[in-house]
Amino acid sequence: MKNYTISLLALLSAVLTFSAATAQQEPTNNLTVMPAIAEGLSLHNLFQSNMVLQREKPITIWGWAEPGEDVSVSFGGQTRTTKAGADRSWKVSLQAMPATAEPLQMAIKGKNATLTLDNILMGDVWVMGGQSNMQEPLRNLENGAMEIASANFPKIRLLTVSAIIDNKEKKNFPRRQKDKQPDGDWDICSPQTVPDFSGIGYIFARRIHMASQIPIGVIDASYWGTPVESWTPLSVVKSMDSDIVRSLLSDWDKKVAAWDPKKELENQIKQDEQRTEELKKQGKTSNEPRPSKPVGAPIDNQNYPGNCYASMISPIAGLAVKGAVWHQGYNNARLDAETFYYQVFPRMIASWRAAFNDANMPFGIISLCTDNPPQTLDNYLECMMDFGIYVREAHYKTFLDFYKAGDKNIGYASSYDHRRAWWHPEMKIPAAERIARWAMATQYGVNSVSWKPPMVTNMEPKDNTLILNFDSDVASLNSEAIAGFSIAGKDGKFQPAKAEYLVTGKNNNGQPQHNWKALVLSHPLVPNPMHYRFAWGRNPMGNLRMVYIKDIPLGTQRSDNWTVADMYENYTGKKSAVPRLVNGGEVEELRKALKAADLERRIFEAKALLAAQKK
């Protein structure tokens, strides 16, 4: 767990000239809660000693005081004065300031109290968003111990937003002692403070700080087990003209209507009594209080649309930031994944940009990580039936849509080749480094660093093959045979493709000359291929990447638009019970059909090999 020590300087900086009981202070180990909105003169909990404020953007500071109270904020040679409104809120805006690693002080004065914040740096502030794979602490990552031991970066500052998820839109987050550790505090990066911080967030911050030497503030606003719709404002989700979205909202409405708080409390009391009786038989006692109010209301669930946005993004909205990085998807790997995610995700990005008052805010996407055993030629088709693939596809498609529309601040990094056979793969440091390369190249002027994945520019069926053209030279990892492509004809039945470079002629020695930007895909069981898929598995085969820059893979993608229901019909000969949708039973039936097709192909290939050896 994170060690936390209050320095003498931090204690002295929380100066109150009137009453320590009525103004916000730096927390001590004796405090259990620092409320979201304190009595008297107080600041939003974003603003603390040791924070980083965003350089080169207007600096907005806000908080609360007594209605009508005059409040002045002095910082960096500027002073602004305002008056608290009837709702106690106040806000001031200071002129933009350049980056500086020299510690600055901020003073906030009210009628009878003064708050002083110390050791403030001007730099870049990045927000980390997503679910548990973004939240995963550095101490859990492969080589995390080495990173922790090396984390002596006093110009990097770390903040984890307190996660108290419900349906109420929040204006602030509390600073609290969670499991005897601070939660919601700005920490100076060190081996003592970094172990429980987002591993991806720290590695990203560490790399761009090393490259730029600019102070970096990184805010972890991620939370485990959450879907994309929970991170999108409820009003935005409700405004979407989409049958699949309306269906999801309808399902939640039914859950909310069916929940009986009285009955739920009775059940929880009964469970508590059973637990207490069981402990009594073991000679133990329970220190847990008897349930007094029901918990688990569906409307307050972390998966309910808009709840994570209301609870973790809305409280920090309005802060000037540099950009955001997103890594999420597991909880959207469900039956509606092939259409739902692609519809909602772009709206979420736009909502986050609006929340931080920057329509062009840099936004980096790390695609969904791996899960399940690796895809091989023996289980190739069977592994193509996984809804997580469609989430990963939506990550890449959304990036492409923004990028091709001229968005210069959208970024992308694949993570499917960091293979581990479960949903929390510990191999996250390389993924964080990849998205940091995007930031370095596009936001910090490091032109020597490449980040953009190779892109398909053209597809041409020709002579029982499918030719793909790319915008850059491509190659496999370690000069292995190119793997990960599959092709299908008009019957919609895929086979893993042989991929070779396009031969354009011969040189003076009679040796073939190749176009390193073009691949020829083929398989004898697909005589007239029309479409391709690449890296189409939850833990996929796929080793194609940019030449010379060996760590930029081709993104998960496809050229077809066949639905899972279409695939079900293609492989079983039956239509799904609901047009364009499949149920769990149909998914399993499709998997069995794909497994059988894998076996048929392997038998075909074995017979062909035996026939070739007899010649």
Q: Diameter of the chain by CA atoms? A: 98
Please check whether residue 243 lies inside any domain of the structure. no
Q: In this structure, are 589 and 498 located in the same domain?
A: no
User: So what's the pLDDT on residue 424?
Assistant: 75
pLDDT digits over 470-519, tens only?
999 999 988 899 999 999 999 999 999 999 999 999 998 989 999 999 99
Count other C-beta atoms under 10 Å from residue 445's C-beta. 10
Name the DSSP class of 482.
Answer: P
Round to whole Å and give the CA distance between 547 and 545. 6
Which pair of structure tokens corresponds to residue 493? 């039945």
User: How many folded domains does the chain comprise?
Assistant: 2
Report which of 144, 157, 130, 128 is spatially closest to residue 195, judged by C-alpha positions. 144
pLDDT exceeds cutoff 90 at 448: yes
Mean pLDDT of the chain: 92
Please check whether residue 607 lies inside any domain of the structure. yes
- Can you tell me whether residue 160 is helix, strand or coil? strand
pLDDT exceeds cutoff 80 at 103: yes
Residues in CB range of 33: below 8 A, 6 or more apart: 174, 175, 176, 177
Report which of 125, 62, 55, 126 is spatially closest to residue 95, judged by C-alpha positions. 55
Count other C-beta atoms under 10 Å from residue 584's C-beta. 8
Q: In this structure, are 464 and 554 located in the same domain?
A: yes
Q: In this structure, are 545 and 577 located in the same domain?
A: no
Report which of 358, 310, 322, 341 is spatially closest to residue 242, judged by C-alpha positions. 341
pLDDT digits over 235-273, tens only?
999 999 999 999 999 999 999 999 999 999 999 999 998
pLDDT exceeds cutoff 60 at 21: no
Q: What is the pTM of this model?
A: 0.92
Residues in CB range of 140: below 8 A, 6 or more apart: 199, 424, 426
Round to whole Å and give the CA distance between 539 and 373. 6
**Amino acid sitting at position 486:** S
Please check whether residue 576 lies inside any domain of the structure. yes
Please check whether residue 174 lies inside any domain of the structure. no
User: So what's the pLDDT on residue 181?
Assistant: 56
User: So what's the pLDDT on residue 414?
Assistant: 96
Round to whole Å and give the CA distance between 532 and 538. 17
Give the model's confidence band at 421: pLDDT under 50 very low, under 70 low, under 90 confident, else very high: low
User: So what's the pLDDT on residue 306?
Assistant: 98
Please check whether residue 526 lies inside any domain of the structure. yes
pLDDT exceeds cutoff 50 at 8: no
pLDDT exceeds cutoff 90 at 25: no
pLDDT exceeds cutoff 80 at 19: no
Give the model's confidence band at 426: pLDDT under 50 very low, under 70 low, under 90 confident, else very high: confident
User: So what's the pLDDT on residue 177?
Assistant: 64
User: So what's the pLDDT on residue 182?
Assistant: 59
Q: List strand residue ranges (DSSP E) for 10-98, in order.
A: 33-34, 42-43, 52-54, 59-64, 70-75, 78-83, 89-94
Q: In this structure, are 589 and 512 located in the same domain?
A: no
Report which of 357, 371, 267, 251 is spatially closest to residue 304, judged by C-alpha positions. 251
Residue where a domain stops, chosen among 538, 558, 578? 558
pLDDT exceeds cutoff 80 at 276: yes
Q: In this structure, are 527 and 590 located in the same domain?
A: no
Least trusted range by pLDDT, from 283-287, 372-376, 417-421:
417-421
Q: In this structure, are 468 and 543 located in the same domain?
A: yes
User: So what's the pLDDT on residue 90?
Assistant: 98
Q: In this structure, are 572 and 549 located in the same domain?
A: no
- Can you tell me whether residue 7 is helix, strand or coil? coil
pLDDT digits over 580-615, tens only?
899 999 999 999 999 999 999 999 999 999 998 887
Residues 328-333 have a mean pLDDT of 95
Name the DSSP class of 86.
Answer: T
Q: In this structure, are 551 and 461 located in the same domain?
A: yes
Q: In this structure, are 481 and 543 located in the same domain?
A: yes
Residues 114-133 have a mean pLDDT of 97
Handedness of CA 467, 468, 474, 480 (dihedral sign): negative
Asked if 216 contacts 208 with a C-beta cutoff of 8 angstroms, the reply is yes
Please check whether residue 529 lies inside any domain of the structure. yes
pLDDT exceeds cutoff 80 at 524: yes
Name the DSSP class of 195.
Answer: T
Q: In this structure, are 499 and 549 located in the same domain?
A: yes
Asked if 323 contacts 364 with a C-beta cutoff of 8 angstroms, the reply is yes
Residue in the block written with tokens 């091709």: 404
Give the model's confidence band at 200: pLDDT under 50 very low, under 70 low, under 90 confident, else very high: very high
Count other C-beta atoms under 10 Å from residue 185's C-beta. 26
Please check whether residue 464 lies inside any domain of the structure. yes
H-helix or E-strand containing 613? helix 584-614
DSSP 310-377: IIIIGGGTT---SEEEEE--GGG-STTHHHHHHHHHHHHHHHHHHHTT-TT--EEEEPP---SSPP-S
The residue ranking higher by pLDDT, 428 or 24, is: 428
Which pair of structure tokens corresponds to residue 325? 């990085």
Q: In this structure, are 506 and 582 located in the same domain?
A: no
Which pair of structure tokens corresponds to residue 202? 């720290």
Please check whether residue 317 lies inside any domain of the structure. no
Residues 532-558 have a mean pLDDT of 94
Least trusted range by pLDDT, from 23-32, 75-84, 342-351, 457-466:
23-32
User: So what's the pLDDT on residue 478?
Assistant: 82
Q: List strand residue ranges (DSSP E) for 405-455, in order.
A: 410-413
**Amino acid sitting at position 297:** A
pLDDT exceeds cutoff 90 at 29: no
DSSP 260-295: -HHHHHHHHHHHHHHHHHHHHHTT----SPPP-S--
Provide, rounded to the nearest whole percent, the portion of the chain with pLDDT above 70: 93
The residue ranking higher by pLDDT, 30 or 280, is: 280
Containing structural domain, residue 569 = 563-615
Asked if 371 contacts 388 with a C-beta cutoff of 8 angstroms, the reply is yes
Half-sphere exposure of 518 (CA within 13 A, CB side): 14
Least trusted range by pLDDT, from 112-126, 376-390, 545-559:
545-559
CA 573 to chain centre: 38
Residue in the block written with tokens 């909205």: 317
